[in-house]
Amino acid sequence: MTVLTMGCRVNQFESAVMGQGGKTRGFRLAEAGERAELVVINTCSVTGESDRQARQLVRRAVRDHPGARIVVTGCYAQNEPERVAGLPGVDLVLGNGEKTRLWELLEASSGRDGEAGGRIRVGDVARLTRVPEMEPVERFGDRARAFLQAQDGCDRACAYCVIPRVRGPSRSTPVERVVEQAQRFLESGYEELVLTGVNLGAYGRDLSDRPTLAALARRVLALSGVGRLRISSVDPLDIDSGLIELLADSDRLCGHLHLSIQSGDDGVRRRMGRGRGRDEVLERIARVRAVRPGVVLGADFIVGFPSESEAAFQRTLDLTAEAGLSLLHVFPYSMRPETPAADWSAALLVPGGQIRERAGRLRQAGEAQLERVLGDRVGEREWLLVENLEQGWGVGKTDGFLSMRVPDGQEAWRGALLPVIVEGVDPVERCLIGRVVREDEA
């Protein structure tokens, strides 16, 4: 079998769960280039481009694995199940609420020759009330770090977003289950774990004991063998005093946060449904920097949202510089059907050429910030998680999620945290160049 995954870290964790389930049922994961008997495609639907890529991935899987059973799940399957079922070669379509029942539903499905309706198992995610118990995962594919799903769904109603409709309301995994999965990963040799969720900052609000994200992170950090713990994307307004205290207290909590900001203009943020304004975003960032001065901050931005003027876009550029944001994910706005923004007047739309031009300027601003961040690291000692070996170099990410490579890479380094000295910057690859600390320097 093979599991093909698009999109977010939650999808990647759920794909690992489905792959683990296949192993326990006698399946073997296919090697690269090998034909599989079963292909599971875990799709994304965050943008219209994601939908197109999902259809393309299905067609490629049918072509590359002739005769295989094709199962399509994930957000695109949830959003447009009939269209997915109509793609040639698709045997079974599962919604996000059904993907953890893959093996049960696969056995019960009628296969390619059945009626389309019989091959669609997509329920109403709005009725989901908890994260289902999942089979514990021993290994996270060939990745050097392992993702821990702590939360799913979203209670926001952002004007541009389909995620609440395809993922359902916010639901948190109980602390003990997250800790149990973390322990499994540590026993398998992982030194870096990543807490992840669809709206991670909402963690615990739906649980009876209302644990916070910071409390969960402390529990994971208390486990023996945790080299470092990373927190994935979070709304800056969900960074509370507990999380700030933990950033100050624990050097094993990575000095890196990826912030869901979307716009630096208050008017655009209100129309997006993002809540409070830029001043509060900047205030949270300042509090983080006060306790962890070297923190590396990335962010998500949507450029060209309806009614975004040049002045509004400039305020996003200004926020990027003022907050020192260096690892940017820039998304040109594209209208999503069945979202509030899709019904707005065409007069509010920003021309496509302007959107592309602004996206380019924002990316350039992020790259300029990144150059400064990289330069500031020269001469510093870092911890490098080695992810791969490339042409004799060990390559991976630092605590701040900055790319780095070190010479004389060794197979034993894969997945290991190594102390390194930063000796320079590769301006083309935008990565640090370092060397592993010698024993006499330790």
- Determine the average pLDDT of the residues in 76-97: 95
pLDDT of residue 209: 95
- What whole-number percentage of the chain has pLDDT above 70? 98
Summarize pLDDT for 383-416 with one digit per residue, the tens: 999 999 999 999 999 999 999 999 999 999 999 9
The helix (H) or strand (E) run that includes residue 364 is helix 352-377
> What residues have CB less than 8 Å from 299, skipping those under 6 apart?
258, 259, 260, 261, 320, 323, 325, 327, 328, 329
Mean pLDDT rounded to a whole number for the chain = 94
Summarize pLDDT for 364-386 with one digit per residue, the tens: 999 999 999 999 999 999 999 99
pLDDT at 11 over 90: yes
Summarize pLDDT for 123-149 with one digit per residue, the tens: 999 999 999 888 889 888 788 999 999
pLDDT at 442 over 70: no
Residue 207 CA neighbour count, 13 Å, CB half: 20
Domains, the chain: 2-123 (3.40.50.12160), 146-376 (3.80.30.20), 378-441 (2.40.50.140)
Rounded Cα gap, residues 243 and 103, in angstroms? 38
Please say whether the beta carbons of 187 and 226 come within 8 A: no
pLDDT at 108 over 90: no
pLDDT at 275 over 90: no
pLDDT at 71 over 90: yes
pLDDT of residue 110: 55
The helix (H) or strand (E) run that includes residue 262 is strand 256-262
pLDDT of residue 28: 87
pLDDT at 260 over 70: yes
pLDDT of residue 118: 57
pLDDT at 23 over 50: yes
> What residues have CB less than 8 Å from 195, skipping those under 6 apart?
148, 150, 178, 213, 216, 217, 220, 229, 230, 231, 232
Please say whether the beta carbons of 409 and 394 come within 8 A: yes
pLDDT of residue 111: 47
Terminal Cα distance for the chain, rounded: 45
